[in-house]
Amino acid sequence: MKVGIVCPYTWEVPGGVQAHVKDLAEALRGLGYEVSVITPADDDTPVPSYVVPAGRAMPVPYNGSVARLAFGFVSASRVRRWVRDGGFDVLHVHEPMAPSLSLLACWVASGPIVATFHTAMLRSRVMHAAHPVLQTALEKISARIAVSEAARKTLVEHLGGDAVLIPNGVAVQRYAGATPMRGWPGDGGAIGFLGRMDEPRKGLQVLLGAFELLAAERPALRLLIAGPGDVTEVAGKVAAELRDRVVVLGQVSEEVKAQVYHSVDVFCAPNTGGESFGIVLAEAMASGAAIAASDLDAFRRVLRAGRAGELFETGDPADLARAAGRLLDDPQRRAEVSHAAMTAVRSYDWSVVARDVVRVYETVVPGADRVAVAP
């Protein structure tokens, strides 16, 4: 089967949709499918062999910020040529409601089209103004996928119809193969956190409380914190005598993120709420971190009721300190939970997610004509 994937946002700019498209394309290739990705990118941008650049994207105001999008006749004719010459069995467009390549692809192509909706924020005023344009594109889409429950809800409310839920995957190999940052975790031990520092539901305040308790008994223990938020504000919450033992990195790149999980002896997920589990926990599991996590229902199930990570009373710093302490004192137990976590996370790997996407292709492809340029 030959799959044509359309990415609406500039390839070289980091972003969730681009990362999704790249991981999906590579997982599909790993499963033996032929894949071609068209994306806005300069012709001289270095891109993988399966990527076709559709020309430079223009920075334009979109959805309250500036996005780099590709539109206009030049982009449209490049997409048309790509569709005509591609010989695809199925076209997979991402974010087709954005004024960019995916929408153009829906217009120029006929045949089976699958669409993935990423965003949970569509502005209905805009949607309404451009209604017939979007409506025509939507009518051509045979199957819709939403990456989250929130994205699905947005779609149902604003566009009508429904979508199947296929969440993002985790690139397990990438995280498993990362190395620690220089000098970490160190002889005195280290514990870590990754996530929005100013979002109470991520539970950083619980961890800071626990660290004060742990630090009192372990004179060389360090705390590594990474994630978006105000670095000085976080540092201000740490007791003065502990400040040189707390390292706050702030927002970090994907590469450093993978390193952070490897740089600590115990990774803490002190979240205080939420029914599903986030990408951070999955990445930590893929990295083989020894995890201490809140005893939330979703966390308990993902961590196999404690076999793949130590669970503690949600929101209780003293219990987190006990759980993390148990792991710090017992290298044998750390190795066990790390191994169990790496096994448990396999069902969230991109290769598994890609198989779910393939099932969607297999539902719409038989009986339909090949993808071609619409008459």
Partner 1 sequence: MDRVLAYVAIVVAIAVLVGFYVSWRATRLDRLHARAEAARASVDAALARRSAVALELAASGLLDPATSLLIAGAAHDARAAGQLQPIAATDGEAQPRELAESDLSRALRAAFGQPGFRESLTGKGGADELLAEIEAAGHQVFLARKFYNDAVAATLAARRRRLVRLLRLAGAAPVPAFFEIDDAPPAGGDGSDGADMPRLTG
Q: Which stretch binds partner 1 (CB under 8 A): 4-12, 38-46, 135-143, 227-235?
A: 135-143
Task: Output 164 or 242, the one with its CB closest to partner 1.
Answer: 164
Q: Report DSSP letters for 41-72, one per residue.
A: B-TTS---TTEEE-BPPEEEEETTEEEEE--H
**Residue 306 per-residue DSSP state:** G
Of 140, 222, 257, 334, which lies in the binding site for partner 1, with binding defined by CB under 8 A? 140
Task: Determine the distance from the C-alpha atom of residue 263 to the mean position of all C-alpha atoms in its chain, rounded to a whole number.
Answer: 21
Do residues 225 and 247 lie in contact, with contact meaning Cβ atoms separated by under 8 Å? yes
Q: Supply the minimum distance, in Å, between the C-beta of residue 7 and partner 1.
A: 19
Q: 352, 370, 372, 373: which one contacts partner 1 (CB under 8 A)? A: 352
- What does the alpha-carbon distance between residue 370 and residue 90 come to, in Å, rounded to a whole number? 7
Q: How far is the CB of 279 from partner 1 (least distance, A)?
A: 4
Min CB(361)–partner 1 separation in Å: 10
How many CB atoms within 10 Å of residue 182? 7
Instruction: Look up residue 269 and give its two tokens.
Output: 């997920």
- 359 contributes a contact to partner 1 by CB under 8 A: yes
Q: Which is nearer to partner 1, 69 or 83 (CB)?
A: 83
The first and second tokens of residue 177, run together, are 């193969």
Q: If binding is defined by CB under 8 A, does position 144 make contact with partner 1?
A: yes
- How far is it, in rounded angstroms, from Cα 293 to Cα 320? 8
Question: Closest distance between partner 1 and the C-beta of residue 304, in Å?
Answer: 8
In three-state secondary structure terms, 235 is: helix
Q: Which residues contact 22 (CB under 8 A, 6 or more apart)?
A: 37, 48
- Structure tokens, 271: 């979240």
Residue among 110 and 272 whose Cβ is closer to partner 1: 110
User: Residue 214 Cβ, how far from partner 1 at the closest point, in Å?
Assistant: 28
363 in contact with partner 1 (CB under 8 A): yes
- Least gap, CB of 277 to partner 1 (angstroms): 5
Beta carbon nearer to partner 1, 249 or 279: 279
With respect to partner 1, which residue has the nearer C-beta, 36 or 168? Answer: 168
Q: Is residue 373 close enough to count as binding partner 1 by CB under 8 A?
A: no
Q: Smallest Cα–Cα separation from 200: which of 187, 192, 191, 209?
A: 209
- Of 47, 126, 242, 298, the residue at the interface with partner 1 (CB under 8 A) is 298
Task: Return the residue matching tokens 């038989």.
Answer: 366
Site string for partner 1, 308-347 (x = CB under 8 A): --------------------------------------xx
Q: Closest CB to partner 1 among 189 and 270?
A: 270
The residues in 255-294 that bind partner 1, with binding defined as CB under 8 A, are: 274-280, 282
The smaller minimum CB distance to partner 1, of residues 69 and 122, is found at: 122
How many residues in the chain?
Answer: 375
- C-alpha distance across the termini of the chain, in Å: 24
Least distance CB 362 / partner 1 (angstroms): 7
Residues 363 and 42: their CA atoms lie apart, in Å, by 35
Binding mask 151-190 for partner 1 (x = CB under 8 A): ---------xxxxxx-xxxx--------------------
370 DSSP 8-state letter: P
119 binds partner 1 (CB under 8 A): no
Binding status of residue 15 toward partner 1 by CB under 8 A: no
Residues 43, 52 contacting (CB under 8 angstroms): no
Residue whose C-alpha is closest to residue 226's, from 206, 255, 256 = 256
Counting contacts by CB under 8 A, is residue 148 touching partner 1?
yes
What Rg value do the Cα atoms of the chain yield, rounded?
A: 23
Minimum separation from the CB atom of position 29 to partner 1 (A): 22
Cβ atoms 326, 309 nearer than 8 A: no
Report the distance separating Cα 235 and Cα 232, nearest Å. Answer: 5
Interface with partner 1 (CB under 8 A): 110, 112, 136, 138-140, 142-144, 148-149, 160-165, 167-170, 274-280, 282, 297-298, 301-302, 346-348, 352, 359-360, 362-364, 366-368
